[in-house]
Structure 1
């Protein structure tokens, strides 16, 4: 399971939402071997007065938070991060300087999905990749 939250300035994020969604999902599928039909994303377009960021970032500044079942290898998580930086720059022309990525891993038992604790689910994909 991967839940993705994407934050950015409303006027910059809204026009690229669909393409950014595709890019993020392709990276998650490739790096974490997630099934293509497991796409869970939330976009948070922010008003300027609600989105502060450090000097050196532009209006394209984008924050990506990814929540995962624990179990992915360090290599898989790093591959996901590298793919995201690369494809976001190549396909959306957003510099890696303007992208921040955080991965949060929690035990399956901390998730509730389809009426069950996550550790009781029958998954059709591997978590330990």
Structure 2
């Protein structure tokens, strides 16, 4: 049931963007215990003036390659599970794309199960 919104600076190849989505999906399967085939992702590129990621917030040095990942998902996962997810995504993007771990920004938005409709105007998980 997660919905992933992935934002990055324009100029990366379609393969690069696809790989980001793959890494996130694989991390959701392995750490967040999401159902197989539950893959909903929106990948958006932005021009320089439309993408702001502070380059030094919290002492983390970010580059223009920063990727912002926001995932809306059902509430209830433990802190340990969330940390494992963050690590799996950062490590996976580093291993497969050479993306610096410092350039992986992740935000989880937790919602009750009844806040989803996957089609037909129905609340499938309510």
TM-score (norm 1): 0.84
SS at match of 1:113: coil
Partner of 1:75 in structure 2? Answer: 80
Partner of 1:2 in structure 2? Answer: 2
SS at match of 2:73: strand
What's the CA shift for 1:35?
2.4
Matches within 5 A, 1:52-67: 52-55=52-55, 56-67=61-72
Gaps spanning 5+ residues in structure 2: where? 56-60
Partner of 1:124 in structure 2? Answer: none
Does structure 2 retain, via aligned residues, the 8 Å contact 1:25–1:39?
A: yes
Matches within 5 A, 1:20-59: 20-55=20-55, 56-59=61-64
* Cα distance in 2, alignment partners of residues 49 and 64 from structure 1: 19
What's the CA shift for 1:82?
1.0
